[in-house]
Amino acid sequence: MNRPTAQLTLAAVVVVFLASTAYGVKLVTAPVATTAAGPTCEARTVKAGENVTPNLVKVNVFNASQRSGLANRVNINLQRRGFLGGKIGNDTGGIATKTVTIITSDRADPQVKLLAAQFKDKARYAAPKDTLGSGVTIIVGDGYSGLASKASRSVKSDRTLQFCLPIVPVG
């Protein structure tokens, strides 16, 4: 390369470097474009006498057994039946269960009745020791034997219930 060509090449590289640096600084210092936070769920009301269906009930599943991944498998199977998946994990609350225990302070709640009807085993009930959050919480134990093949798909509500169904963003 002769001297004028080398100088021209070096000048071009410097110009590209400076332009890239200026553009990078502009991107880093530009305000972040934020979208307005919309609602995270859609409110639904089920009045007394109407049916509560699985697509309205969120289920949290915790594993109290020695079987690895049981809570996840139960959650997936309940979602296949239309229930909304909630939290999954190992039970740390110390509630002993042989088969299925539903954590509730109201056994007559239509959501609880619908969920209890899904299991082969007769569900047991335990009072919550602390705040559980939204949905119905169940704990599965070593004796868990699966979901009933012919389970109820709905339960008539004896009261007005409010549900918050998650909005799934499109796109």
pLDDT in tens, 137-156: 999 999 999 999 988 899 99
The number of folded domains in the chain is 2
Residue 85 has pLDDT above 80, yes or no: yes
Same domain, 72 and 20: no
Per the listing, tokens 């109407």 go with 50
* Residue 143 maps to a domain: yes
Does residue 12 sit in the same domain as residue 62? no
Average pLDDT for 26-52: 85
Residue ranges making up the domain that contains 85:
41-166
Q: How far apart are alpha carbons 99 and 74 in whole angstroms?
A: 12
In this prediction, residue 133 carries a pLDDT of 74
**Residue 59 pLDDT > 80:** yes
Are residues 142 and 61 located together in one domain of the fold?
Answer: yes
Query: Would you say residue 131 has pLDDT above 80?
Result: no
- Both 112 and 161 in one domain: the answer is yes
Element (H, E) at 164: strand 161-166
The pLDDT of 9-30, averaged and rounded, is 89
Would you state the pLDDT for residue 79? 96
Angle (CA) 44 41 131, round 5°: 90
Position 90 in a domain: yes
Reported confidence tier of residue 49, pLDDT bands at 50, 70, 90: very high
Same-domain status, 17 and 80: no
25 and 50, same domain (yes or no): no
- How high is the pLDDT of residue 29? 87
**Do residues 51 and 27 share a domain?**
no
116-122 mean pLDDT: 94
Looking at the structure, do residues 49 and 121 belong to the same domain, yes or no? yes
Sort 114 into a burial class: Cβ within 10 Å, 0-12 / 13-18 / 19+: buried
Across all residues in the chain, what is the average pLDDT?
89
In a domain, 171, yes or no: no
